[in-house]
Amino acid sequence: MSAIKLIELLGMDGELTLDKLSPADRALVIKLMGEKEEEDDEVAPNMSQTASFD
Amino acid sequence: MNTSVSADTPKGSIVVVGPGIMLGAHLPPRSRNYIEKADIVFSCCPPIINRWLETLNPNFNSLLDLYGEGKVRSQTYQEMVDAMMAAVRDGLKVVAVYYGHPGVFAWSPHKVIEVAKSEGYAAHMEPGISADACLYADMGIDPGQFGCQSFEASAFMFYRPRYEPASYLILWQPALAGELSITTQHSNAAQRQVLVELLLEDYPSGHQIAIYEAPFLPLDKPRIDWFALEDFANQRLTMNSTLVIPPAKKMQVDKTVLEKLKRLQQQV
């Protein structure tokens, strides 16, 4: 299963935790979480701004 | 049941949905179904959410590329509407995905529905889970208990709306409080201090307020940091932060109205 599908599974399950995953799956999830932090830094500077004077 | 479609009804359609806040956890089944069955999906969500949505439907287009440094946001939003409407006019079954609740703090989802309907296309929005829905759950706040007002933080400063300090006050996007430019994700401490000064007109300086951030990934925990109002300007804020200001006084019964209602009750 891909890392993103593992994250989806964790989100849908509610009781599944990282320590219940196999070591290989756990490594995939941790790697994706690291990539997410890098992506957060690359988001366009005005992406999240809304509204007041637009 | 008559399911026939008039020959005059244009073929294209658009449904706007939201994946909620937590990846994988908050997407309603009905919205997921719309995504999976769409001819084309447009998304205005964080990159990792987009990666997930692409697994649900490979006919996927991110709208994030329309943002640009220094680009006027209204232009970006209009280009989003134009891109989605082009697909609708091509007769496609279009689904647009906007992070959280698609109708909260977003202009283009409402606009594209308005435009599509005005041209005769089927168009509607599905509700999603927004940051305030998570906030009520994580912080144990019932907005019905004392009332709850919410404003975008900068709009609260610019327009000075009347509000009731006996109710909860929620200020969205406090990281941008007082920020007038479009080139940064953060206002500075001096700009935020202006917000503090406005709030000090109704709240004591030591009034305990909180920064809330909903968990984004299933392994994340909510951030709930309490501090005194006077210390707000130097708090660490992100684009996911929401400012929560609990009531500072008790609600007062309006005895005149109450007596009037009692008299009416006696007449029944």
Q: Does A20 touch chain B (CB under 8 A)?
A: no
- Give me the half-sphere count of Cα atoms (radius 13 Å) on the Cβ side of residue A35: 14
The arithmetic mean of pLDDT across residues A15-40, rounded, is 86
Q: Does A49 touch chain B (CB under 8 A)?
A: yes
Give the residue with greater pLDDT, B99 vs A37: B99
C-alpha pair distances (Å), B35 with each of B39, B45, B56, B89: 9, 14, 7, 19
Contact B53, B35 (CB under 8 A): yes
Question: In this predicted model, what pLDDT tens digit does every residue of B106-165 receive, in sequence order?
Answer: 899 999 999 999 999 999 999 999 999 999 999 999 999 999 999 999 999 999 999 999
How would you class B253 by CB atoms within 10 Å of its CB: exposed for 0-12, middle for 13-18, buried for 19 or more? exposed
Q: Does A9 touch chain B (CB under 8 A)?
A: yes
Spatial separation of the C-alpha atoms in residues A44 and B128, rounded to whole Å: 24
Chain A residues in contact with B47 (beta carbon < 8 A): 36, 39, 42-43
* Cβ <8 Å between A7 and B24: yes
Question: In this predicted model, what pLDDT tens digit does every residue of B36-70 receive, in sequence order?
Answer: 999 999 999 999 999 999 999 999 999 999 988 77
- 3-class SS at B87? helix
State the DSSP code for B211.
E
List CB contacts of B40: < 8 A, sequence separation 6 or more.
B59, B60, B61, B87, B92, B93, B94, B95
**Total count of residues recorded for chain B:** 268
> Of B115, B133, B132, B113, which Cα lies nearest the Cα of B123?
B113
* Cβ <8 Å between A46 and B73: yes
Distance of CA B262 to the CA centre of its chain: 40
> Of B188, B238, B182, B179, which Cα lies nearest the Cα of B68?
B182
Q: What is the ipTM of this complex?
A: 0.77
Cβ under 8 Å to A: B residues 189-228: 217-219
> Of A44, A3, B48, B107, which Cα lies nearest the Cα of B96?
B107
Find the closest chain B residue to A8 by CA distance. Answer: B24
Q: Does B151 touch chain A (CB under 8 A)?
A: no
